[in-house]
Structure 1
Amino acid sequence: MLEVRSLRAGYGGTEVLRGLDLSVGAGEIVAVLGSNGVGKTTLNKVLSGVLRANEGEIRFDGKTLTGASSADIVEAGLIHVPEGRKIFPNMSVRENLELGSYRRGRERRSANLERVFETFPRLRERSGQAAGTLSGGEQQMLAIGRGMMAEPRLLILDEPSLGLSPLLVEEMFTLIRRLNGEGLPILLVEQNVVQSLECASRAYILENGLFALSGTAEQVRNDPELKRAYLGM
């Protein structure tokens, strides 16, 4: 579904991504793991068309997306749920969800809205409530639900467990497995190594703009380099 080759990107004269190769196949959960400041957000911005790559190629479902606008990338079905939720706090839950179908999925908005409410019953209960008054966990549900409204063909989840309680983190990873079980490929970008490796089929460890380690989730989990690359041990 997604192929990234020799990707380089950065800000001004500072190169952040230094030649990344990445792939996500149909039906996979692929994790990109790393601590703060290693380039995860930059990678997501490039994949979403918010930041242009300096070099390299991005292909989605066999078509080149290198240099495409963020609107074109959304219309292709590559949907990014950003870190920090980025909801519209003064708009209602329902209005936030409806905005998710602004570029894609508008014709089936009602059916998709019902699907989101079935997935997140709490959002149905709070559909008329201002989004900014939701709890952190509910706001994360809303951000993912808004992404689902665009009928993603591949979903990028950026730090979905960030700031959640341990119980809500468990719920979030259960949801990720459920969405994937329905056939949705997911690129999971996280700091939570243990639980990400439990649900992913493959993983990449990002360190200083390069993948220090990659392989099946089991290979990465058992590799002694994991502690060094991720924890500096």
Structure 2
Amino acid sequence: MTDALLEVRGLRAGYGETKVLCGVDLTVAPGEIVAVLGSNGVGKSTLNRTLSGIVRARDGSIRFDGASIEKEKPPAIVERGLIHVPEGRRIFPNMTVSDNLDLGSYRRATARRAQNRERVFSIFPRLRERTSQYAGTLSGGEQQMLAIGRGLMAEPKLIILDEPSLGLSPLLVEELFTLIGRIRADGVAILLVEQNVVQSLEVADRAYILAEGVFVMSGAAAAIAADPELKRAYLGL
């Protein structure tokens, strides 16, 4: 993909003596939603952490927006516009919704903080109603909206959403995936890293199936969703 916003080639990473990613290739185009699907323990979070600079790549290349970033530190990667919303929300519970959002623009887009806050409120209207509320008192779904909204405050070119539906009720999951579609409509590319296979494939353009540190399949999301053998073999459906 010559016009890739994110291009990963031969990526290997792990922890200590443990190998987790064993040579993965991945691309995301501008404005595209790409899903990375797989069960627990196959390397999804390690992939996210390596792309965002928290874990250092052992081998391979990561190019983002035309620049090599595999040796850059997280603050520099954030400044380039690659934003990681981690699993578990990681909001600041003793700070207000407004203050949590403002922290999202600490490294990037500070001058447009007010405009970007309005942009977040247009996608997540519920947050507007709770600007002065402490984040720790929000429901699980609202905390997830806040975590994503904080990421959007940095004007991402690409946002990595790590298990955004984890721990949410089916109704809130449905709402969340609708909102993910709205984020893409606003021009943001999304790397959606999830265990929720069915709804991820409904919203994504393309998908990669991760198993034991390697991508065992990739292609159009609709084609993967229609392949019953693939779903049984790799996704447990």
Same fold (TM over 0.5): yes
Deviates more, 1:72-81 or 1:109-118: 109-118
Corresponding residue number in structure 1 for 2:231: 226
Rounded Cα–Cα distance in structure 2 between residues aligned with 1:178 and 1:208: 32
Rounded Cα–Cα distance in structure 2 between residues aligned with 1:206 and 1:118: 34
Instruction: State the one-letter code of the partner of 1:228.
Output: A
SS at match of 2:24: strand
Instruction: State the one-letter code of the partner of 1:49.
Output: G
Rounded Cα–Cα distance in structure 1 between residues aligned with 2:126 and 2:155: 21
TM superposition shift of 1:226: 2.6
Corresponding residue number in structure 1 for 2:61: 57
Runs of 4+ in 1 over 6 A off after TM superposition: none
Rounded Cα–Cα distance in structure 1 between residues aligned with 2:101 and 2:231: 38
SS at match of 1:8: strand
RMSD value, Cα: 1.0
Alignment of 1:2-13 (within 5 A): 2-13=6-17
* Selected match of 1:113 from 114, 117, 122: 117
Would the aligned equivalents of 1:213 and 1:226 in 2 still touch at CA under 8 Å?
Answer: no
Rounded Cα–Cα distance in structure 2 between residues aligned with 1:35 and 1:122: 31
Unpaired stretches in structure 2, ≥5 consecutive residues? none
TM superposition shift of 1:30: 0.3
Corresponding residue number in structure 1 for 2:43: 39
TM superposition shift of 1:114: 1.5
Would the aligned equivalents of 1:31 and 1:196 in 2 still touch at CA under 8 Å?
Answer: yes
TM-score, length-scaled by structure 2: 0.96
Would the aligned equivalents of 1:207 and 1:230 in 2 still touch at CA under 8 Å?
Answer: no
TM superposition shift of 1:51: 0.5
Q: What is the number of equivalent residue pairs in this alignment?
A: 232
Deviates more, 1:218-227 or 1:22-31: 218-227
Rounded Cα–Cα distance in structure 2 between residues aligned with 1:36 and 1:49: 21
SS at match of 1:218: helix
* Selected match of 1:146 from 150, 169, 174: 150
Deviates more, 1:214-223 or 1:167-176: 214-223
2:47 is the counterpart of 1:70: no
TM-score, length-scaled by structure 1: 0.97
Corresponding residue number in structure 2 for 1:18: 22
TM superposition shift of 1:45: 0.3
